[in-house]
Structures are given as C-alpha cells and as structure tokens.
Amino acid sequence: MAFTAFNLDSRLLRAVEHMGFEQPTDIQLQAIPAAMTGQDVIASSKTGSGKTLAFLLPAMQRLIKNRALSKKDPRVLILTPTRELAKQVFSHLKAVSAGTQYKSALILGGENFNDQVKVLDKNPDFIVATPGRLADHLSKGLFYLNGLELLILDEADRMLDLGFAKQLKQINEAADHRKRQTLMFSATLEHGQVEEFAKDLLKKPKRIAIGAISSEHKDITQRFYLSDHLDHKQALLESFIANEDYQQMIIFTATRADTERLAKELNDKELSAVALSGDLAQSERNRVMEAFSKGQNKILVTTDLASRGLDLVNVSHVINFDLPKHAEEYIHRVGRTGRAGSKGDAMSFIGPKDWQSYLNIKALLQQDIEFSVVEGLAAKFKGLKPKVEKKDKSKGSKAKSAQSKKKRSQPKVKKKVILTDEGFADMPMLRKKAGSYVESDDE
C-alpha cells in the first residue's frame, strides 16, 4: 500500500516523497485513516515505528480541507515531553508543511520567553511545545486555545512520568470544546496513569496497539555483560570501542556527572566524544546535538535525555553503561540504533547496583537472556538472589508484649517460600516486600 491510498493532498504526497518514505508503516496504516475521520485516537507503538508522520499527515490534511474555527488561535497543538523530541517533531513538521501557507512555532522551556511571545503574536497555525513552557504562556493570557482543532500528545507516558499532569490538565481545560479532536500516542497503553488521563481527554477513542513494547526488535542485536564494579565497566567499554566497527555510538549513563567524566576520559584517549545532560543550557544542548547529528563526534555520552525522539540514522551502537531505573526506558535507549531498516547493536553492563533494573527489564522483555563474556574480562559477579530481611526483635518489644501473650495459645504455622531468580522477577509484589538482595554464586 502506498501513501496515495490515504487520499492526501498532492502537496503532502510530494513532501512525503521528498522525505524518502515510500510505504506507510503499520502505525501509519492504522492511525492515519482513523485520525482523518475526526475520531479521537489513542495509540501505542514501539520506538522508530513512524508515529510522527502518523499524526502530522492527518493534521496537515485537516487544516487544508477544513475552515479554521478562529483567525487568531492555533489550530493544532503538539506536546512532547522533552525539548529534543519537540525539535525532532518540529523538523518533520517543517518538511511536511513545505509548499503550504501554514505557519508553525516551536515553544520550549529554557529559551527566551519574550522571543516566544513575539512568535505567538504572529498567530501560528501549528505549535510544537513542551507542556511546562506552554502552560506558562497560557496562564499569562498570551494566547488562547478556544479555536484549537487538534490536540496531539506525543509520548504521553513520558510526560506523565516527568510530572506534567497538572500542565496537561490546564491545557486540556483551555481547549475543551466539542469540535476539538485529540490524538494520544504512548509507548504502552498499559501505563496506569495514561489510561486514567485518557478518560478525561479523549471521547470514545479508537484504540490502536502496534507491536508490544516488549516485542523483539529484529534489527537490533542485544547483548548483556555482567560486571563487578565501575573499573570493570570501564574496561568493557574500552574493549568495545577498540574492537567494534561502529559508525556512531551513544553511551547511556545513570548520572549527569558520569556523562562529563566518561566523555573527558574518552577524549583524553583521542576519541571524539561529547557529553549531553540536563545541566547544559539549551543553546549548548542544541550545539551538542547538531554537531553529533552532522557526524562531527563519533560518541555521544548522555543520560536518558537522548533516549527518545532523536532520529539519528548513523548510530550503529548503543551502550548502557548503567541500566535505566525504568524498564520501558531500556526499550527507548536501544531504539536509538537499528533505525530505518539499518542493523544495530546494543550492549548493556550489569553490576550489583544494576541488578534490580535488569530483573525489571527481563520481566518486560519476556525473553530468555544469556550473558555474554569478553575474553579476559569475565566477571566474578554472578547476580543477586532475593533475601527476606529478619525483623529486629528489639524494636517495639514492650508494645507487642501484650499481644504476644494473647497469641501464645494459638498454634504457630510456619511458612516457607522458595523463589528462583526468574520467578522472583515476575512477581513484583513479592519483590517489593523482600526489598533487599544478597550476593550469590549461583548461575
């Protein structure tokens, strides 16, 4: 099936052709026709599935075919969780809208507020924004959403995880009228907060789920390596950089400080590396990403700031120096490679501090995971097993003395629970109760 089957305006078809897309992806095949009917849509698809075009094309088609509800208010509002993703979406929007008269604006936190006021004064048809900064402009009465025709939430799960629920509700209430259509995209529809939020925002939505987030990405080879400590991870990293044939590489770390440290150490070895973290000013973040996207640096060291939305086709390798706290973020991290039909490699280092994250990822993937070993760098660490903590009998003994006398006459029932590593990983409630782990020599 070709894009022509959607009966899109000829200008949009030319834009898609110019962007190099020939066949619609699965999410586009289902989301575009549904959105073009004017129906609300809630959809999930894994990273790299083409969801940006799945909402941009019907949005553009709506503006071309329908008369505006207001001459001043924006017609389409697209919200994203991060500035980097917003810029990526805005770039696609500019390409799709080429050859049309529609104006667009990019409103991001961390950039000059007064400059953004001037942009909003020009009455853009499209606004791509992060929720916090847009809510600031809205609360000051600098623009209105009474005539908004289409509200699009990209990666709604991430926006809620980042604490933007209040701002999203404010924006929803400012554009709450019966003619508004809403499209919500999320990595998973099983995210409890997303499900509750969708009830308030969407009206009888069509639900679309394309590929479970846990489904295996056939274009990405995933490898897992046990490591004993920080120096061991460092040795593994240096081994991969020296021996892997990579175009560009992204290294994910747990902290902002680690991004700077690793980038400096790699540059000291005359490797072209650059660090990206939330500590940087927006202008500096823009400079870093622009340089990396142009291939001026071979290695990007970053936090989860770069795990979503960045379409970097030359990234052949992703290394999880530290595993993410949230299992879903692992999917987005490795999804930075293996894009547009290219093959990719993802390697993850698992030390004692990463073990709980590993168990969560394993449960999410629902796949058997075998640990790989680099010759000469095998780990002594073999994993952790659950341990039930012993209660401190000295605490609260007086308060419990009266109760214990009453229970002496009652028969005691001993309970013994044996949990394997795998079984424990699949039982979150038990995992929470156990709360701690001890080292094990078991495989």
Which has the closest alpha carbon to 94: 131, 135, 51, 124?
124
Query: 414 or 168, which is more confident?
Result: 168
Distance in angstroms (rounded) separating the CA atoms of residues 390 and 1:
62
Specify which residues 214 forms β-bridges with. Answer: none
Nearest 5°: the CA angle 339, 341, 343 is: 75
pLDDT of residue 160: 86
Specify which residues 45 forms β-bridges with. Answer: 210
Six token digits for residue 1: 């099936």
Give the tens place of pLDDT for each residue, 78-90: 999 988 889 989 9
Average pLDDT estimate for 138-160: 92
Distance in angstroms (rounded) separating the CA atoms of residues 201 and 205:
10
3-210: CATH number: 3.40.50.300
Q: Is the pLDDT of residue 6 over 70?
A: yes
pLDDT of residue 413: 47
180-191 burial string, b = 16+ CB within 10 Å, else e? bbbbbbbbbbeb
Of the ranges 288-302, 361-375, 390-404, which one carries the lowest mean pLDDT score? 390-404
Which residues, at least 6 apart from 302, have a Cβ–Cβ distance to it below 8 Å? 250, 251, 252, 253, 259, 275, 276, 277
Residues 236 and 227: beta-carbon distance below 8 Å: yes
**3 state SS of 381:** coil
Specify which residues 168 forms β-bridges with. Answer: none
Domains 3-210 and 220-381 share a fold: yes
User: Can you give the residue ranges of every domain in the chain?
Assistant: 3-210, 220-381, 385-439
pLDDT of residue 418: 41
Tokens 């899109």 correspond to what residue? 8
Residue 363 Cα to chain centre, angstroms:
18
Give the tens place of pLDDT for each residue, 257-274: 899 999 999 999 999 999
Give the tens place of pLDDT for each residue, 385-404: 766 555 555 555 455 544 54
Six token digits for residue 113: 């507020």
pLDDT of residue 40: 95
Q: At what angle do helices 131-139 and 165-174 cross, to 10 degrees?
A: 50
Six token digits for residue 186: 């999320």
Residues 349 and 223: beta-carbon distance below 8 Å: no
Of the ranges 37-46, 310-319, 408-417, 428-437, which one carries the lowest mean pLDDT score? 428-437
Residues 340 and 368: beta-carbon distance below 8 Å: no
Rounded alpha-carbon distances, angstroms, from residue 217 to 48, 136, 145, 152, 238: 10, 39, 39, 26, 26
Indicate if the alpha-carbon torsion angle 65, 31, 103, 115 is positive or negative: positive
Q: Cα-flanking dihedrals φ and ψ of residue 212, to 5°?
A: -65, 150
Distance in angstroms (rounded) separating the CA atoms of residues 164 and 128:
16
Tokens 């295996």 correspond to what residue? 216
Residue 398 Cα to chain centre, angstroms:
50
Which has the closest alpha carbon to 331: 421, 247, 248, 252?
252
- Determine how β-strand 41-45 pairs with β-strand 206-210: parallel
Q: At what angle do helices 355-365 and 327-334 cross, to 10 degrees?
A: 70
* pTM for this model (two decimals): 0.64
Residues 80 and 128: beta-carbon distance below 8 Å: yes
pLDDT of residue 325: 87
Summary mean pLDDT of the chain: 83
Rg (CA), the chain: 25
> Could you please report the per-residue DSSP string of 90-158?
HHHHHHHTTTS---EEEE-TTS-HHHHHHHHHT--SEEEE-HHHHHHHHHTTSS--TT--EEEESSHHH
Cα diameter, the chain: 86
Residue 34 Cα to chain centre, angstroms:
24
Q: Is the pLDDT of residue 327 over 80?
A: yes
pLDDT of residue 415: 43
Query: 376 or 279, which is more confident?
Result: 376
Give the tens place of pLDDT for each residue, 154-180: 988 888 888 899 999 999 999 988 889
CB atoms within 10 A of CB 52: 24
Six token digits for residue 216: 């295996």
CB atoms within 10 A of CB 256: 17
220-381: CATH number: 3.40.50.300
